[in-house]
């Protein structure tokens, strides 16, 4: 019964994705992946219920299908984390499937009764090919899972280089998707077929449940495109060609000049007070390309954009709490005025910069606690 539920959910999600307007390349990849998963589960269901005896022409079709799941995961992650479309050579990832089909070509042309006999004898006569296939499946699954994790890690660094906030950028969907795949491959190595396919069904149910909750995956609902939201976990990277072009050979004098302009802007205009400031926003104010500004910040400040902006916010807060006119405000309202968009973000970044919590800092600096005590109890 569980397998039937997985099969129905797989094809239902495919139907939703294919009916979605303005589908992205990632949507198409996910739809095809779910379709393959549904077919794979269907063939396994026929096997465990012995119904394959009624459809012997389907025997063997399931053999290369496990080699598709790793590439689909990687291509889906890749499609979500880059702004330029995947190239046509993505089909190269599926060449191992063709190799496996060629390896078992002699089986596919056998009469139905011979196929059934081989299945009943657990692949007798194809032991070497099946052993090779098992090794290839493990290598493909674990390899592509690791590639996907590496891609996600790179993507997280990319976010820190382009955004001064991360509270609204939710990578949970991708993280769970990848680790769920890792769990399945762990089950392939150490579990039984029944446990493996049960894990696959649960994985599909997970995709359905969390994918529907995640705005934009199975729906056309769009939020403000100018502000990353919980659906914008795929804050995308520039194309490698453009990035390479923009990383020109800046001289030290040029970088120092840009850095000087940046420092003047930070002091005079306080752009960091915008809680949703991005690298692109700041680069437009400095009148340089985002990649150039990122290079300047990384080289001279020795930190990424996220840490650079939040360090300015912390320093602005430290100065603001000393002003008499601010004594009537709460610490959190002052923090918001300095560009922080949540209490959690404020506490985390303040401690990262100073090594102290806000209340610990106030005590250490011997700031008038009679006036500030009521404002520090929640910190």
Mean pLDDT of successive 10-residue stretches along the chain, which has 379 residues: 87 88 84 92 88 86 92 90 76 93 91 90 88 93 92 79 66 82 90 87 84 61 41 42 52 90 92 89 91 90 90 92 82 89 88 88 65 48
Q: Is residue 244 situated within a structural domain?
A: no
CA atoms within 13 A on the CB side of 376: 16
357: left (phi over 0), alpha (psi -120 to 50) or beta: beta
Q: Is residue 287 situated within a structural domain?
A: yes
Domain closes at, from 176, 191, 213: 213
How many domains does one find in the chain?
A: 2
- The domain of 366 spans 258-376
Same domain membership, residue 300 and residue 191: no
Same domain membership, residue 53 and residue 167: yes
Q: Is residue 294 situated within a structural domain?
A: yes
Report pLDDT for 50. Answer: 84
Q: Is residue 32 situated within a structural domain?
A: yes
Same domain membership, residue 150 and residue 6: yes
Residue among 237, 228, 216 at smallest CA distance from 84: 237
Q: Is residue 315 situated within a structural domain?
A: yes
Report pLDDT for 296. Answer: 92
Same domain membership, residue 183 and residue 111: yes
Same domain membership, residue 111 and residue 205: yes
Place of tokens 């493990």: 138
Distance, in Å, from the CA atom of 166 to the CA atom of 159, rounded to the nearest integer, reads: 8
By CB atoms closer than 10 A (0-12, 13-18, 19+), residue 276 is: middle
Query: Phi and psi of 218, rounded to 5°?
Result: -110, 10
88-142 pLDDT tens trace: 788 899 999 999 999 999 999 999 899 899 988 888 888 999 999 999 999 999 9
CB 339 within 8 A of CB 273: yes
Residue among 298, 171, 208 at smallest CA distance from 17: 208
CB 59 within 8 A of CB 115: yes
Q: Hey, CA dihedral for 286, 292, 296, 298, is it positive or negative?
A: positive
Q: Is residue 134 situated within a structural domain?
A: yes
Same domain membership, residue 128 and residue 42: yes
Which CATH number do you get for residue 349? 1.10.10.60
Q: Is residue 228 situated within a structural domain?
A: no
Same domain membership, residue 43 and residue 114: yes
Same domain membership, residue 184 and residue 41: yes
231-266 pLDDT tens trace: 343 444 444 444 443 445 788 888 999 999 999 999
Domain closes at, from 158, 184, 213: 213
Q: Indicate yes or no: pTM above 0.75.
A: no
The Cα-based distances of 139 to 18, 183, 205 in angstroms read 31, 14, 25
Distance, in Å, from the CA atom of 304 to the CA atom of 296, rounded to the nearest integer, reads: 10
Rounded to 10 degrees, the C-alpha dihedral 239/245/246/247 comes to 110
Same domain membership, residue 172 and residue 33: yes
Bridge partner residues of 163 (DSSP): 278
Distance, in Å, from the CA atom of 139 to the CA atom of 96, rounded to the nearest integer, reads: 11
Same domain membership, residue 22 and residue 148: yes
Domain closes at, from 149, 179, 213: 213
Q: Hey, CA dihedral for 222, 225, 231, 235, is it positive or negative?
A: positive
Same domain membership, residue 203 and residue 72: yes
Q: Is residue 143 situated within a structural domain?
A: yes
Report pLDDT for 246. Answer: 47
Same domain membership, residue 209 and residue 263: no
Distance, in Å, from the CA atom of 230 to the CA atom of 216, rounded to the nearest integer, reads: 10
């Amino acid at each position: 019964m569980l397998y039937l539920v997985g099969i129905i959910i797989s094809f239902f999600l495919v139907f939703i994705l294919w009916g979605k307007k303005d589908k992205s390349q990632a949507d198409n990849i996910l739809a095809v992946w779910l379709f393959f998963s549904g077919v794979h589960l269907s063939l396994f269901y026929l096997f465990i219920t012995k119904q394959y005896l009624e459809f012997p022409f389907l025997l063997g079709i399931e053999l290369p299908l496990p080699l598709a799941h790793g590439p689909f995961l990687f291509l889906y992650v890749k499609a979500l984390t880059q702004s330029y479309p995947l190239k046509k050579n993505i089909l190269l990832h599926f060449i191992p499937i063709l190799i496996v089909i060629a390896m078992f070509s002699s089986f596919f042309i056998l009469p139905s009764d011979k196929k059934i006999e081989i299945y009943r004898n657990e692949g007798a006569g194809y032991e070497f090919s099946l052993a090779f296939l098992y090794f290839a499946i493990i290598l493909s699954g674990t390899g592509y899972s690791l590639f996907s994790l590496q891609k996600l890690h790179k993507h997280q660094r990319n976010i820190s280089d382009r955004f001064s906030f991360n509270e609204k950028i939710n990578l949970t969907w991708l993280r769970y998707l990848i680790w769920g795949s890792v769990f399945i491959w762990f089950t392939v190595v150490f579990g039984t077929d029944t446990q493996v396919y049960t894990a696959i069904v649960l994985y599909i149910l997970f995709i359905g449940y969390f994918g529907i909750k995640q705005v934009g995956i199975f729906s056309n609902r769009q939020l403000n495109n100018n502000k990353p939201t919980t659906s914008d976990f795929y804050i995308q990277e520039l194309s490698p060609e453009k990035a390479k072009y923009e990383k020109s050979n800046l001289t030290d004098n040029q970088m120092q000049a840009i850095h000087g302009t940046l420092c003047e802007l930070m002091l005079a205009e306080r752009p960091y007070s915008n809680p949703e400031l991005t690298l692109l926003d700041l680069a437009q104010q400095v009148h340089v390309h985002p990649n150039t500004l990122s290079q300047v910040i990384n080289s001279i400040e020795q930190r990424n954009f996220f840490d650079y902006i939040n360090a300015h916010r912390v320093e602005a807060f430290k100065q603001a709490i000393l002003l008499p006119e601010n004594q009537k405000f709460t610490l959190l309202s002052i923090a918001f005025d300095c560009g922080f968009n949540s209490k959690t973000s404020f506490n985390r970044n303040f401690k990262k910069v100073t090594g102290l919590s806000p209340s610990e800092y106030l005590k250490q600096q011997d700031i008038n606690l009679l006036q500030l005590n009521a404002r520090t109890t929640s910190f």
